[in-house]
Structure 1
Amino acid sequence: MHFPILVTSVTQTLSQTTRLRTLGMSAEIAARLRTMIEEGELPPGARIDERAFCETFDVSKTPLREALKVLVSEGLVLHRQYIGYRVAPLDLEELRATFETLHGLEALAGELASQRLGTADMVKLERRHQAMIDAHAAGRRTEYFRINQEIHQLIIDGAANPVLASVYATLMSKVHRARGAANADMLRWQESHEEHEAIMAALREPGRPRLAQVLRWHSENTAKEVLSVVERSLAESGRLVNSKTAA
Structure 2
Amino acid sequence: MHEATAQRLREMIQEGELAPGQHINERELCEAFDISKTPLREALKILTLEGHVTHRQHMGFRVAPIDLDELASIFEVLHGLEEMTGRLLAERIDDATLARLMEQHQRMAGYHRDGKRLAYYRANQEIHVQLVAATGNPVLASMYATLMAKVYRARGVANADVLRWQESSEEHEAIMQALRERDAGRLAAILRFHSEHTAAEVMKILRGPLVKRSGAKA
> What is the TM-score of this pair, normalised by structure 2?
0.91
> Is residue 41–residue 181 contact of structure 1 (8 Å, CA) maintained in 2?
no
Map of 1:138 onto structure 2: 114
Cα drift, residue 56 of structure 1? 1.1
- Superposed displacement of residue 182, structure 1: 2.7
Structure 1 outlier segments of 4+, above 6 Å: none
Amino acid at match of 1:124: R
Tell me if 1:106 matches 2:82.
yes
> Distance in 1 between the 2:115 and 2:21 partners?
26
Structure 1 distance, partners of 2:211, 2:7, is: 26
3-state SS in 2 of match to 1:98: helix
Deviation by residue 1:76-99 (Cα, 9 ceiling, x = unmatched)? 111223332211001111111111
CA contact (8 A) 2:54 2:64 kept: yes
Query: 2:171 aligns to what?
Result: 195
Structure 1 equivalent of residue 189 of structure 2: 213
Q: Secondary structure at the match of 2:8?
A: helix
Q: Which residue of 2 is the match for residue 8 of structure 1?
A: none
Mapped pair 1:40 → 2:16: yes
Q: By how many angstroms is 1:121 displaced?
A: 1.1
Task: Indicate conservation of the 8 Å contact 2:24/2:63, yes or no.
Answer: yes
Cα displacement (A) at 1:189: 1.7
Q: Quick one: distance in 2 between partners of 1:28 and 1:162?
A: 29
Q: Deviations over 1:88-116 (max 9, x none)?
A: 00111111111101111100110000101
Q: What is the deviation of 1:185? A: 2.3
SS of 2:207's partner is: helix
Secondary structure of 2:154's counterpart equals helix
Matched, 1:234 2:214: no
Distance in 1, matches of 2:50 and 2:184, equals 40
CA offset at residue 71 of structure 1?
Answer: 0.8
Residues 174 and 59 of structure 1, relative CA distance in 2, 3 Å threshold: same
Gaps of 5+ in 1: 1-24, 240-247
Structure 1 partner of 2:141: 165
Question: SS at the partner of 1:78?
Answer: strand
CA distance in structure 2 between the aligned counterparts of 1:78 and 1:207, rounded to whole angstroms? 45
Cα separation, 2, equivalents of 1:234 and 1:222:
18
If asked which structure has higher relative contact order (CA below 8 Å, sep 6+), I would say: 2
SS at 2:211 equivalent? helix
Indicate the percent of aligned positions where both proteins have the same amino acid.
57
Q: RMSD of the alignment, in Å?
A: 1.9
> Secondary structure in 1 aligned to 2:168?
helix
1:147 deviates by: 0.8
Q: How far apart, in 1, do the equivalents of 2:211 and 2:141 lie?
A: 31
Q: Which residue of structure 2 aligns with residue 10 of structure 1?
A: none
> Would you say the 8 A contact 2:13–2:63 is kept in 1?
yes
CA contact (8 A) 1:40 1:182 kept: no
Shift of 1:69: 1.3
The alignment partner of 1:47 has SS state of coil
SS in 1 for 2:202: helix
**2: distance between equivalents of 1:73 and 1:122?**
38
Partners of 1:158 and 1:96 in 2: CA distance: 26
Counting only pairs closer than 5 Å after superposition, residues 110-121 of structure 1 correspond to structure 2 as 110-121=86-97
How far did 1:208 drift? 4.5
Q: Which has the higher helix share?
A: 1
Equivalent residues, number = 215
Q: Deviations over 1:21-48 (max 9, x none)?
A: xxxx111100110111122222211221
| Residues 182-228 of structure 1: CA deviation (Å, up to 9, x unaligned) | 32222222221121111112112254541000000000001101111
Unaligned stretches of 5+ in structure 2? none
For 2:54, the equivalent position in structure 1 comes to 78
